[in-house]
Every structure is written in structure tokens, then in C-alpha cells.
């Protein structure tokens, strides 16, 4: 897994994890809208710990806190931190990866950033950024809190406007028209196919 991340991120240094562990879902750099709270949680934690620049990563914690790990990367460095005992035993109470592994990773990344400063990731061809509402994951209207989601060629990009936030008068009108066409549903599609 680490080697995979190193390959993707470029010329990263490799620190091998010692045990395989299950995944507990916390991560940075998530591409799934539903996980954005996880992403923000770990990302803002890394920022609070002084990590600067674009970074990504993934936490993991095993049952009963026997293992905690974080694999994270910038475009110039990949580092995996594993915390645990050689003879498996609980690390401690509430020893989540975010609590015990991420701070070690953040400290390492801050030190190495002086030697290998991180730069923005190159965006692959065929990938495009779309601003979406961070509540509905649909196209934003005026009052929506937004985030940027990346889509590759062939992905279905949301076309409907956010129904959660009010929007300008024009956006309300557009949404009403979209709703009208959607309510016609299959009948209308059938007409267009002929």
C-alpha cells in the first residue's frame, strides 16, 4: 500500500508499516462527497499540528486499539506511521490513529518539508474540478457552503441545483424548471428517443 502511494505521489521516501490493519475510515484527500466530514476532521487536525501545503492520507485503527496507523503524503514525501506493541496489546484508551499516529506523522512531515518542500499536485489529464454544495452535493446556489470535487472523463457530474439552500430568484426559477422536467420523467425521455 505504501509503495502504491509512493508511486502515485512521485518520489516519496518509504517507511514500511510493520503490521496489516483494518481501515477505520478517517482520511484526507477523500474523493467521495459523503466522507467530507472525515476529510475535514483529519485535514484540519494536520493543519493545527502545523502541516502546510497539499497533503493526503489515511488513518487506520484495529480492534481494542492494538494498532494505529497513518499513511500520508505530499508530492515530495510519503510516510507511514505505525503505533503498537511487538506482542499485540492495547496501546491505551481511545488510542485512535488520529490521536496517536497523526501527530507523529505531522512532526515528521514538518521536519522533512524543510528539505523537501511540498508543491501542488499535478492534476492528471481528463480530470476537472467542479464546485458543489457541501450539504446537498449538487450544483451550488448563492447561499451554499461549497467545496471542490474532482471528476474524471465519463463520471456523471451533478446537474441539478441544490434544493437545500434558497439561492437567488433566478436560481429558484431554474430549479423549478429542472423539477418540472424531472417530474415528466420517463414519458419525456421516451418522446426524445423516437
Number of residues that bind Zn ion (CB under 5 A): 7
Binding mask 122-151 for Zn ion (x = CB under 5 A): -----------x-xx-------x-------
Give the sign of the dihedral formed by CA 64, CA 67, CA 71, CA 77: positive
Q: Which is nearer to Zn ion, 2 or 135 (CB)?
A: 135
* Position among 15, 165, 174, 178 found at the interface with Zn ion (CB under 5 A): 165
By CB under 5 A, is residue 161 in contact with Zn ion? Answer: no
C-beta of 33: minimal distance to Zn ion in Å?
12
157 in contact with Zn ion (CB under 5 A): no
Taking CB under 5 A as the rule, does residue 79 contact Zn ion?
Answer: no
Q: How far is the CB of 174 from Zn ion (least distance, A)?
A: 14
What CA–CA distance (Å, rounded) separates 82 from 122?
28
User: In angstroms, what is the minimal distance from the CB of 145 to Zn ion?
Assistant: 7
Please, what is the minimum distance in Å from the beta carbon of residue 36 to Zn ion? 13
What is the closest distance, in whole angstroms, from the C-beta atom of residue 146 to Zn ion in the complex?
Answer: 8
Q: Which is nearer to Zn ion, 44 or 143 (CB)?
A: 143
- Chain residues binding Zn ion by CB under 5 A are 133, 135-136, 144, 162, 164-165
Amino acid at each position: 500500500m505504501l509503495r502504491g502511494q509512493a508511486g502515485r505521489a512521485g518520489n516519496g521516501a518509504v517507511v514500511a508499516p510493520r503490521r496489516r490493519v483494518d481501515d477505520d475510515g478517517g482520511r484526507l484527500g477523500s474523493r467521495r462527497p459523503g466522507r467530507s466530514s472525515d476529510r475535514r476532521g483529519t485535514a484540519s487536525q494536520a493543519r493545527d499540528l502545523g502541516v502546510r501545503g497539499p497533503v493526503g492520507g489515511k488513518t487506520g485503527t484495529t480492534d481494542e486499539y492494538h494498532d494505529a496507523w497513518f499513511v500520508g503524503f505530499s508530492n515530495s514525501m510519503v510516510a507511514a506511521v505505525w503505533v503498537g506493541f511487538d506482542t499485540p496489546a492495547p496501546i491505551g484508551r481511545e488510542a485512535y490513529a488520529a490521536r496517536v499516529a497523526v501527530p507523529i506523522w505531522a512532526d515528521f512531515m514538518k521536519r522533512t518539508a524543510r528539505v523537501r518542500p511540498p508543491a501542488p499536485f499535478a492534476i492528471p489529464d481528463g480530470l476537472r474540478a467542479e464546485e458543489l454544495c457541501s450539504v446537498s452535493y449538487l450544483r451550488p446556489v448563492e447561499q451554499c457552503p461549497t467545496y471542490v470535487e474532482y471528476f474524471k472523463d465519463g463520471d456523471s457530474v451533478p446537474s441539478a441545483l441544490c434544493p437545500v439552500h434558497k439561492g437567488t430568484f433566478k436560481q429558484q426559477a431554474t430549479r423549478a424548471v429542472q423539477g418540472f422536467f424531472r417530474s415528466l420523467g420517463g414519458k419525456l425521455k421516451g418522446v426524445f428517443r423516437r
